[in-house]
Structure 1
Amino acid sequence: MLTVELNMYHGVALGAFLFWLGGMITDKVSLLNRYCIPAPLVGGLCFSILNCILYSAGIASISFDATLQTVFMIMFFTTVGFTVSIPTLLKGGKAVILCLLVSIVMIPLQNFLGGGVMQLFGQDPLLGIGCGSIALIGGPGTAAAFGPDLEAAGAVGGSVVSIAAATFGLVAGSLIGGPTARRLIEKYDLRPAAAVAGSAPGAGLAAEAAGEDESFLTDSPRFIKGFMLLLLAVGVGSQVSVWLKALTGLTFPAYIGAMLVAVVVRNAMDSMQVEYPAEEIDTMGNMFLSIFLAMALAGLKLWELIDLALPMIVCLLLQCVIMFLFTYFVVFNVMGRNYDAAVMTAGFVGFGMGATSNAMANMQVVTRKYGPSPVAYFAIPMVGGMFIDFFNAVFIAANIGWWA
């Protein structure tokens, strides 16, 4: 068998090509657009499938140095830390805090369900975490980040299982979210608290969605400032991670220290009224996530999934059932049993099974039909895109420590 080993520079070039390829495919295939499947995920999976075919046929095996993949991963999660504004959380009040609390409850539910199913099938329960909050609450980024940690703890195939489960979650979150909200709205005859004068249902969604497709103008000094802040957080954060491990005895992901430092830096800048380059750091975060995901997916060894196919299918189907029941009977009631609560169930399923982009797409579909929900559009991105990652990382590290 021919063995092809690419160095870290070749690996980055491959990731960039796969990102472009994935973007071209998602533009052409409407189904991928409808379910908000990320372009780097599509491109990376195309390569990993090709590599699996070559390997299974005994033709060739392609691998690459993932050193820079880890760097991009840490940089991306550091940008997530910079989005956490504590004053904004406090101003959000009851809706954000309640949504965060029910999200935290969902993390151990997903992990213990996954671990239990894997044990029933005689598999390593650590793989259940890969089918739990690593892939579902966490999404593809967290799956790619924690997969190597599962394997280091002894779970063979942890990266492949986590990424595969995250891919399933992206589709399932889009399929379940809208129908769940629609059922609640029609069953209880729910309507928006106040209609927006002079606008059709769903008008103003672009603003509510926090400028998801919004363009901006900037200059190089702002980008330089943002990049230097990222480097500062990454450098100091590496030592913070060492201290956290020594203090708690738990093995946290490499990015956790940098995320915490980024939170401190961001809120210190806000308190001192120092200009914070939000759009620039967000743009860099999207760049780092795209290349990191493309490389992570390209490195998957899909042939390791053969023996895990049945327990994974059972586990993920049960995760869908639990997510529906939890949102329908718990999230809806805790959030107030009103129209906003119903819309938030669609968003909760979106980021609880896939990613924040799924959550926004789910809520957009619902609000276009039934009317706007500013509360949902504020609370869901705040929780799903910012705060929940911290709690998820702590729970995952604790679960790995317990089951390893």
Structure 2
Amino acid sequence: MEMGISLNIYQTTGFAIIILLIGRFLRKKVSFFQKFAIPAPVIGGLIFAIINTTLRMTGTLNIEFDSTLQEFFMVLFFTSIGFNASIMVLKKGGKKVVIFLGVAVLLCILQNAVAVGLSGVVGMDPKLALMTGSTPMTGGHGTAAAMAKEVEGAGIQGAEAMAIAAATFGLIAGSLMGGPVGNWLITKNNLLTEKLKEQRGDPDVDESLIKEEKLPLDGGRIAMALFMLLIAIGVGTYLTNLLNYLLKLVMPLGKFPIYIGPIIVGIILRNVSEGKKNFVPIEEVQVIGDAALNVFLAMALMSVRLWELAAVAGPMVVLLLGQALLMVLFAMLITYNLMGRNYDAAVMAAGHCGFGLGATPNGVANMDSVCDKFVYSKLAFFVIPIVGGMFIDLFNVFIITFFLNIV
């Protein structure tokens, strides 16, 4: 007879933190996790999900979690993304930042188009196939877990397991592909010689935009950051309801996720705050958002139903290989050409592989690898963190929402 354990809201949250801390411990001890920048909640969560799946499939134990707070932490994280979107930073970043943002947005659109296009080939529901598009690729595990929740809510089983598996694949594939792509572009086009001959040096960039400032711990700023996030969530949910009402007038089956409104309110508060007023402590908002993401991911991943992957394993492989091929071709033909067809562009192409299939840290790691072999690219290490850390998640959420509403 199968035993069952049901954890309430408090026990589920505490258990998720334990899973997160185990993931952090393993990340420090296992070089594989460090090399591919696998997040701690992903490590701990997936290990437990495998154990939980084994217990369930063998009829040994069935564990049920209360996911009430999971949505709260998810909305808290996405609201912090809104606060990252600074119009002032985008203006000060210069032309290359704007161009690369456009390139990254184009990749998001193509990733979803490829997913939907291949869904017909492999005979899969296009909404489920979208869980291999920009949701897990450019979006990473955070966006994957959140968007999959929306798809699962629409009655499509296996979305969460597929999105998490795809995001993990993306982290590894993007890290493996970036170095070779950058190396090939540089050697084939003799870009190193051109770079070394440059007399003008690197373009001027305002490195203060990506500089991490060490501020003293301030309880008042932390409290204000939390207050701003909660205000954005409270007001933003009303905005989400209004947007959904207006959307249904033109698209009866359309629906925006709950966090769209809070993201928009976060954008407004951030940009109203900038300048002389500056009443939103952005660094503290980001810290709270990162903490919320970690807890949300741990809660989401430890309850992933991996057994649902069995039915879609074959088609999923085709979809993931399609995304990997798209990323390689896009980096070499689009990113490299639009970013200037020079050494800096080649380094950014390498970074885009890690960033476009995994996460910004993976992109930076790819660029580190390329620059260790050749020479440093000041421009690449300026552009990628700004777009990856401040803007692309925001655009990606709206792109994914659009695709989910039209397929």
Q: What TM-score results when the alignment is normalised by the length of structure 2? A: 0.92
**Post-superposition shift, 1:226?**
1.1
Query: Cα–Cα, structure 1 residues 256 and 216, in superposed 2: closer, same or farther, change >3 Å?
Result: same
C-alpha displacement of 1:269: 0.8
SS, match of residue 381 in structure 1:
helix
Output the CA distance in 2 between the equivalents of 1:32 and 1:195.
38
Cα separation, 2, equivalents of 1:243 and 1:374: 44
Q: TM-score, normalising length from structure 1?
A: 0.92
Equivalent position of 2:274 in the other structure:
270
1:119 Cα deviation after fit: 2.4
Task: Give the drift of 1:65.
Answer: 1.0
**1:315-354 alignment to 2 at 5 Å?**
315-354=319-358
Within a 5 Å distance, the mapping from 1:289-300 to structure 2 comes to 289-300=293-304
1:365-380 superposed matches below 5 A: 365-380=369-384
Corresponding residue number in structure 1 for 2:239: 240
Residues in 2 aligned to 1:400 and 1:154: alpha-carbon distance in whole angstroms: 13
1:204 alignment partner in structure 2: none
Q: 1:166-212: CA deviations, max 9, x gaps?
A: 1111111111112111111122222385799xxxxxxxxxx799357
Q: Which residue of 1 aligns with 2:230?
A: 231
Moved >6 Å (runs of 4+): none
SS in 2 for 1:4: strand
Tell me by how many angstroms 1:252 deviates.
1.9
Give SS of 2:191's match: coil
Taking a change above 3 Å as real, the CA distance of residues 248 and 271 of structure 1, as seen in their structure-2 partners, is farther
Q: Does 1:400 align with 2:404?
A: yes
CA contact (8 A) 2:360 2:389 kept: yes
In 2, Cα distance between equivalents of 1:359 and 1:209: 18
Offset of 1:69 from its aligned partner?
1.0
1:243 maps to a residue whose letter is: L
The answer as to 2:110 corresponding to 1:109 is yes
Query: CA separation of 1:10/1:327 partners in 2, compared to 1, >3 Å: closer, same or farther?
Result: same
The size of the alignment, in residue pairs, is: 393
Compared with structure 1, are the counterparts of its residues 208 and 139 closer, same or farther at alpha carbon in structure 2 (3 Å cutoff)?
Answer: farther
Supply the AA of the counterpart residue of 2:305.
Answer: K
Secondary structure of 1:24's counterpart equals helix
Q: For each residue in 1:91-143, what CA deviation from the matched residue of structure 2 results, as whole angstroms up to 9, or x when unmatched?
A: 22221111111222212221122223232222212111001111101110000
For 1:272-311, list aligned pairs within 5 A: 272-311=276-315
Contact 2:84–2:391 (CA<8 Å) still a contact in 1?
no
Name structure 1 gaps, 5 residues minimum. Answer: 197-206
| Local SS of the residue matching 1:62 | strand
Q: Where does the alignment leave 5 or more consecutive residues of structure 2 unmatched?
A: 199-206, 249-253
Residue correspondence of structure 1 range 35-184 to structure 2 within 5 A: 35-184=36-185
Q: Residues 318-364 of structure 1, C-alpha deviation per residue, up to 9 Å, x if partnerless?
A: 11011100110111001100111111112211121011121122122
* Distance (Å, rounded) in 2 between the aligned partners of 1:209 and 1:374: 13
Compare 389-398 and 27-36 and name the one that shifted more.
389-398
1:19 is displaced (CA, Å) by: 0.8
1:42 to partner: Cα distance: 0.3
The one-letter amino acid of 1:101's match is: G
Match of 1:202 in 2: none
Give the CA RMSD over aligned residues.
2.1
- State the match for 1:391 in structure 2: 395
For residues 54 and 235 of structure 1, the distance between their equivalents in structure 2, rounded to whole angstroms, comes to 40
In structure 1, the partner of 2:216 is 217
